[in-house]
Amino acid sequence: MLDTIRAFETPEGIELQLHVAGPVSRAAAWLVDSLIRACIYIAFTIIFSLLGKMGWGIILLVYFIVEWFYPVLFEVLKGTTPGKKLFNLWVCHDNGTPIGWQASMVRNLLRVADFLPFLYVLGLISMLINRDFKRLGDIAAGTLVVYRDEGERNYNLPEQKPLPSPQALRLVEQRAILEFAERGEKLSYERRIELSDILEELTTHKGDKGQEHLLRYASWIQRGGEQA
């Protein structure tokens, strides 16, 4: 089996599932990102090689920055690199939360170890013997590479007028709100209020008003972020 499903529970008591990506899709994404970096290297080499020694100094600096910070920048700001996005892959912490600067730096710096002895052989071995397909960098950083699975599930939500979220929501946060809205009828009134009050910072309301805002956010998310 090339992929697994990993379940975890959010602080709000909602269980989410992550579809862990296997070595084939990750290798394909790495190849795309490598081609993008190669194009950047070639472009800068052609442009700055005309400046002599100073130009080559700039070229080497660009090589260093792109090689080490290209994946970090995209993973932290977007949750995925262009290559991973092409294959619907997303990098997150073990508990499904968005990856931060420290974790991204660790997992990418350890690409050196994963590359040994050549062509990521050690990293591939690590992935094949780990149930979550983690390379050494993922183990050290506590991260996973998963499928985004956007649009795969149709949530059965109560009718509510869509209300845009006041702040950008990560995928895991969107799913938590959708799960809350879908499961609401199966929970007691007290439990719904308890869960919605946890997100007071997002809704700016408590009690019935906070619950209503979450349901309206869920309707907005399900419609693809569009107003009714």
18-41 pLDDT, tens digit each: 889 989 999 999 999 999 999 999
- Residue 80: helix, strand or coil by DSSP? coil
Side-chain half-sphere of 219: how many Cα atoms within 13 Å?
Answer: 14
Give the whole-angstrom CA distance, residue 194 versus residue 87: 38
172-181 per-position pLDDT tens digit: 788 888 888 8
Model pLDDT, residue 11? 56
Share of the chain above pLDDT 70, in %: 89
Model pLDDT, residue 156? 76
Who wins on pLDDT, 192 or 2?
A: 192
164-174 per-position pLDDT tens digit: 988 888 777 88
List Cα–Cα distances, 68 to 64, 78, 194, in angstroms: 6, 16, 44
Q: What is the DSSP letter of 79?
A: S
Residue 35: how many CB atoms within 10 A of its CB?
A: 12
Give the whole-angstrom CA distance, residue 140 versus residue 121: 17
Tokens at residue 204, please? 């700016």
For residue 63, count CB atoms less than 10 angstroms from its CB and return exposed for 0-12, middle for 13-18, buried for 19 or more: middle
Mean pLDDT of 55-69: 93
67-97 per-position pLDDT tens digit: 999 999 999 998 999 999 999 999 998 877 7
Give the whole-angstrom CA distance, residue 63 versus residue 55: 12
Judged against a pLDDT cut of 50, whether residue 226 lies above it is answered with no
